[in-house]
Amino acid sequence: MHPAARTPTPFRAGPTPVPQLRSRRVRSLIDADALRVLHRAARVLLDDLPDLTDRLLAVLREQEPAYRTALENDHAATWQEVCRSLRHSVTSLLDPRGTREAAHRCTWRIGVTRAEQGLPLDALLHAFRLGGSLVWQRLVEETTRSEPEDIRLLVHVATDVWNFVDEHCTLVADAYRQAERQLAWRRENRVRLLAAALLDGTSRIADLPETAERLCLPEHGRYVVVAVAGGRPQDPSAGGSAYWHTGAEVDHGIVVVGDVGDGEADRDPVAALALSTDGPAGRRIGVGSAVTGLAAVGDARRLADLALSICPPEGGTVRLTDHLPEALVVSCPELGATLAERVLGPLLRLEPADRDVLLDTLVAWFACEGSAQRAGERLYCHRNTVLNRLRRCEQLIGRSLARPHDVVEISLALTARRLLRG
């Protein structure tokens, strides 16, 4: 710890300047004497290290509540830590070069350990400065006791003592902050892993209490998962508690919609989200159905992804409960494609221009709830033209728009073709 003492203003013996050569020799003698005084006092401190440790802990107990707690929790470990740190401080006065690396390692370990234990950094730095003050105070006390006239020489090494304290305060702070960053990363990664397992449906039952605590969500709440592609909403919670998990292409929000039995099971705090239109162009939102308990969030995520898959490419919001026929088709695309071919096959094999006119007419008729008049207005043609096209469609596909069963099949087939042809 202790390099050569710094050179002060050239020494003057009287009103007449002393030659420079003699000034250096006098300074060298002063340095040597100062080191001798420092080493003599330091050796006494080294022999009296337990008492020095007790004195520092007494001050810490009085001035630092964080250390008071540490002492109450594990007095022996705290005492050993402080004793080791003081030992390195004192031995560095005797052999600065030989003990530097060991002193640095000791300080670094203290910074890491205290960060892991959650001791405030301010309290840790205060402890190091108090330790430096106590060492200096004991050096002065011992010199005053044994050789009072040497006190003036001890002043020449005061800067070096405090430089050591500053160096180790910086070191312990660096170690603490680095450990704190690593701990924060581990905590964030743990939260992310727990959330990912929850959304994947692979969470262990034993992990659910920790998951609830870390995600700040009730374990037995009622949940809806929201899947968002193209930019997360500004107010994703829509008035309720939520946790958002960022994915490569899709973000998932786990949204609390009310606890079971609280009389608000039908309340939907994601309504504002589902109706929001202030997001970026092309943003797609899929809102799944509600489930009960964190253990069912994996099912809720699959429902949200299903709703997202129904969203049009240009963007928008789809709430699964409002699009159940589409969800049925998309949930089993093989059957959907089979249905579309079985019902619409003859129509689909027409020439493209003829095919598209007939398909557009069917779609418009369904969208207008079976009104040929309104469908004609949408298609810019007479209602009789619409009726003629519809009759041709019935003839081609062998089904009647007057039979409810056939209407259901045709509607689902049209939905399957729209959703699955991409």
Decide which of 322, 343, 373 is a domain's last residue. Answer: 322
- Residue 343 · residue 416 · CB < 8 Å: no
What are phi and psi for residue 287, nearest 5 degrees? -110, 115
- Residue 214 · residue 194 · CB < 8 Å: yes
- Residue 1 · residue 93 · CB < 8 Å: yes
* pLDDT band of 383, cuts 50, 70, 90: very high
pLDDT at residue number 90: 93
- The whole-angstrom separation of Cα 129 and Cα 166 is 8
pLDDT at residue number 19: 43
| Structure confidence by residue, pLDDT tens digits, 411-422 | 999 989 888 875
Residue 147 pLDDT more than 50? yes
- If asked whether residues 56 and 151 sit together in one domain, one would say yes
- If asked whether residues 272 and 376 sit together in one domain, one would say no
The answer to whether residue 414 is domain-embedded is: yes
pLDDT at residue number 251: 92
Give the β-pairing of 284-287 and 242-245.
Answer: unpaired
Instruction: Find the range with the poorest average confidence among 56-60, 222-226, 229-233, 416-420.
Output: 229-233
CA atoms lying within 13 Å on the CB side of residue 376? 13
* pLDDT band of 275, cuts 50, 70, 90: very low
- If asked whether residues 171 and 317 sit together in one domain, one would say no
Q: Please, what is the Cα angle at 162 between 101 and 80, to 5 degrees? A: 55
pLDDT over 70 for what percent of the chain? 85
- If asked whether residues 151 and 281 sit together in one domain, one would say no
* Total residues found in the chain within this entry: 422
* Mean pLDDT for the stretch of residues 181-188: 93
Residue 111 pLDDT more than 60? yes
CATH assignment at residue 380: 1.10.10.2840
- If asked whether residues 282 and 366 sit together in one domain, one would say no
Terminus-to-terminus CA distance in the chain, angstroms?
73
* Mean pLDDT for the stretch of residues 230-251: 72
Binning the chain into helix, strand and coil, the percentages to the nearest 5 are 70, 10, 25
| Structure confidence by residue, pLDDT tens digits, 35-79 | 899 999 999 999 999 999 999 999 999 999 999 988 988 999 999
- The whole-angstrom separation of Cα 278 and Cα 44 is 74
The count of other CB atoms within 10 Å of the CB of residue 351 is: 8
- If asked whether residues 310 and 345 sit together in one domain, one would say no
- If asked whether residues 313 and 337 sit together in one domain, one would say no
Residue 273 pLDDT more than 80? no
Residue 235 pLDDT more than 80? no
- If asked whether residues 169 and 32 sit together in one domain, one would say yes
* pLDDT band of 329, cuts 50, 70, 90: confident
SS3 assignment, position 229? strand
pLDDT at residue number 283: 87
* Mean pLDDT for the stretch of residues 273-281: 56
Residue 366 pLDDT more than 50? yes
Residue 258 pLDDT more than 70? no
Residue 264 pLDDT more than 50? no
pLDDT over 90 for what percent of the chain? 64
| Structure confidence by residue, pLDDT tens digits, 288-311 | 999 999 999 999 999 999 999 888
- If asked whether residues 41 and 154 sit together in one domain, one would say yes
Domain residues for the domain of 231 are 220-322
Instruction: Find the range with the poorest average confidence among 21-30, 131-140, 335-344, 404-413.
Output: 21-30
Mean residue pLDDT of the chain comes to: 85
- If asked whether residues 253 and 133 sit together in one domain, one would say no
- The whole-angstrom separation of Cα 367 and Cα 361 is 10
Split into its structural domains, the chain has a count of 3
Residue 257 pLDDT more than 90? no
Strand runs (DSSP E) across 51-167, as ranges? none
* Mean pLDDT for the stretch of residues 235-262: 73
Beta bridge partners of 385: none
- If asked whether residues 354 and 316 sit together in one domain, one would say no
Please give the model's pTM, rounded to 2 decimal places: 0.62
What are phi and psi for residue 224, nearest 5 degrees? -125, 135
